Structure 1
Amino acid sequence: MTDASSAQRVYVNIADQLRSDIVGGIYEDGERLPGEDELAARFQVASRTINRAIDLLKADGHAVGRRGSGVYVQRPLTIRHEPFRAPDAPGWKVGSRGAVEIRALDIDQVAVISDRPPAAIASALGLDTEQPTVIWTARYSAPRRPVKLTRTYVPAALVAENSTAGEDPTPRRLTTLLSDLGLWPEHGFVETRGRAPGSEDCELLEIPVGRPVLDCRLTVWDAQGRALAVEQTVMDTAAYVVAHAVDLHGVR
């Protein structure tokens, strides 16, 4: 084992022990963790090693730093996100997605704007990056912390000028929004992946740059194959798991 991998194992083991202490209730949610010097003495390591271990706890949601105050325990939430099944799955239909959450979420920020979409969204919609979209955004929060962002992109050319839905920021089911716009989705496809958060994600979700987010993108098309919208859901990985039902009937 190299010196580098040996040093890594030390701070990973310390993070594992502190994480176990948090899960085991030795440190309560919201409690301030012992200071850097105290932890360095406990584990008989340098302060830098403790800093690395604490960074791991912040990254996976077991701790949060407060400027000028210290590091505090933050118990990860458990919220299940169940995306749409694939279009060829038995019983699939537009609007079949559901989220089973252990607590109610509050919507504390909403907006609707017209802007150019990110390149990946533009590509999914068959646009170039100069063509505008109308974007509906919302932030969802559990008690004391934001956990999810949604951004729904619809090509501006598809939003009728006289449609009040084009100005109404009220969050609603994607199929309802599109219906309000006079658009009728027929097919959809979901992709979920982990990625590094962007600066806006970090600001809105109030997470450190070292914590990945889950990015779930639902693209829908009408019966003629025209892309109508992309609904992007960005989730704090310290709060969400992605759940899929598995049908094993008849499998031997």
Structure 2
Amino acid sequence: MTDASSAQRMFVDIADQLRSDIAQGVYADGERLPGEDDLAANFGVASRTINRAVDLLKNDGHAIGRRGSGVYAQTPLAIKHKPFPDPAEPKSRAGAWAAVEPRAFDIDLIGVSSEQPPAGVTSVLGLGAKQGALTWKARFSVQGRPVMLTRTFVRAELVPATCAAEDYASPRRLALLLADLGLSPAEGVVETRGRAPSGEECDLLEIPVGRFVLDSRVTVWDAQKRALAVEQTVMDTAAFVVAHSINVGEAR
């Protein structure tokens, strides 16, 4: 490894050490980390190197900056996200990143509106360039920390007029919402990818701009192959683990 590449790796190695310290309780959840100058002296590096290391911790959820106060250790959540829950999965089984206890969501209702969906959603729903969809929006938090946003897009003409009122806006699972609308989904597909967040998503999830989000979209069709809805779930990557069961015996 060249001197230049070794220097490039230095901030990564420092971030690894600080993550390990947080995991082992050297810095407790919510405890203020030493200042930049102190860390630079401890590791024998320039302040700029520490700044880059701390940015890595912020971006993967191991630290949070508070304006005018400093940087604080943060234990990442491990909320299990299962797009296709398997009712046959043994409840006692847990993976290496599984949450120790169930996570109760608090829901901030953002509202119901008619809006232009993202380009991919507009296409799959068969909407025109200026056609909107009725959209249910909500934010989910755990222990006071925003972790997930949802938007459910349904073609406006499929929604009874009585359902567009604000008092009908309580967030619910997609299948229940469609049932309430009198729609009968027959099949669906889940697609998940990582991407950079929008400015609005950074604000709503209270995350730094350098942290990616998981964008998971469920598209459902009826028996006549008519697209009924798309549910978009945007998750803080520092809070979620995408999990599914496997049958190891089938690999033999």
TM-score after normalising by structure 2: 0.90
Displacement after TM superposition at 1:102 (Å): 2.4
Identity across aligned pairs (percent)? Answer: 66
Q: Is residue 2:122 matched to residue 1:122?
A: yes
Secondary structure, counterpart of 1:14 in structure 2 = helix
Give per-residue Cα distances to partners, 1:92-111, cap 9 Å, x unaligned: xxxxxxxx872211112331
C-alpha separation between the residues in 1 aligned to 2:163 and 2:51? 52
- Extract unaligned runs of 5+ from structure 1: 92-99
CA contact (8 A) 2:151 2:233 kept: yes
**Equivalent residue, structure 2, for 1:14:** 14
**Equivalent residue, structure 2, for 1:43:** 43
Distance 1:109 1:166, change over 3 A: closer
C-alpha separation between the residues in 2 aligned to 1:219 and 1:4? 47
**Equivalent residue, structure 1, for 2:84:** 84
Displacement after TM superposition at 1:129 (Å): 3.4
CA contact (8 A) 1:165 1:177 kept: no
Distance 1:55 1:251, change over 3 A: closer
Displacement after TM superposition at 1:176 (Å): 1.4
CA contact (8 A) 1:110 1:170 kept: no
Displacement after TM superposition at 1:238 (Å): 0.6
Distance 1:4 1:132, change over 3 A: farther
CA contact (8 A) 2:29 2:75 kept: yes
Displacement after TM superposition at 1:124 (Å): 2.1
C-alpha separation between the residues in 1 aligned to 2:195 and 2:117? 18
What are the residue-to-residue correspondences of 1:76-225 with 2, within 5 Å?
76-84=76-84, 102-161=102-161, 163-164=162-163, 167=166, 168-225=168-225
Tell me which moved more, 47-56 or 151-160: 151-160
Give per-residue Cα distances to partners, 1:9-34, cap 9 Å, x unaligned: 10000000111100010000000000
C-alpha separation between the residues in 2 aligned to 1:250 and 1:188? 25
**Equivalent residue, structure 2, for 1:28:** 28
C-alpha separation between the residues in 2 aligned to 1:184 and 1:166? 22
Distance 1:3 1:113, change over 3 A: farther
- Partner amino acid for 1:170? S
**Equivalent residue, structure 1, for 2:55:** 55
CA contact (8 A) 1:32 1:73 kept: yes
C-alpha separation between the residues in 2 aligned to 1:79 and 1:48? 33
- Partner amino acid for 2:65? G
C-alpha separation between the residues in 2 aligned to 1:240 and 1:71? 22
CA contact (8 A) 1:159 1:166 kept: no
CA contact (8 A) 1:21 1:27 kept: yes
**Equivalent residue, structure 2, for 1:95:** none
CA contact (8 A) 2:84 2:244 kept: no
Displacement after TM superposition at 1:61 (Å): 0.1
C-alpha separation between the residues in 2 aligned to 1:164 and 1:122? 21
C-alpha separation between the residues in 2 aligned to 1:250 and 1:120? 35
- Extract unaligned runs of 5+ from structure 2: 89-98
**Equivalent residue, structure 1, for 2:237:** 237
- Partner amino acid for 1:169? A
Secondary structure, counterpart of 2:33 in structure 1 = coil
Coordinate RMSD, CA, aligned: 2.1
Distance 1:227 1:141, change over 3 A: same
- Partner amino acid for 2:198? G
Displacement after TM superposition at 1:7 (Å): 2.0
Secondary structure, counterpart of 1:16 in structure 2 = helix
CA contact (8 A) 1:205 1:236 kept: yes
**When the two structures are aligned, how many residues end up with a matched partner?**
241
C-alpha separation between the residues in 2 aligned to 1:3 and 1:130? 55
Give per-residue Cα distances to partners, 1:62-101, cap 9 Å, x unaligned: 000011110001110111000127xxx9x9xxxxxxxx87
C-alpha separation between the residues in 2 aligned to 1:251 and 1:141? 38
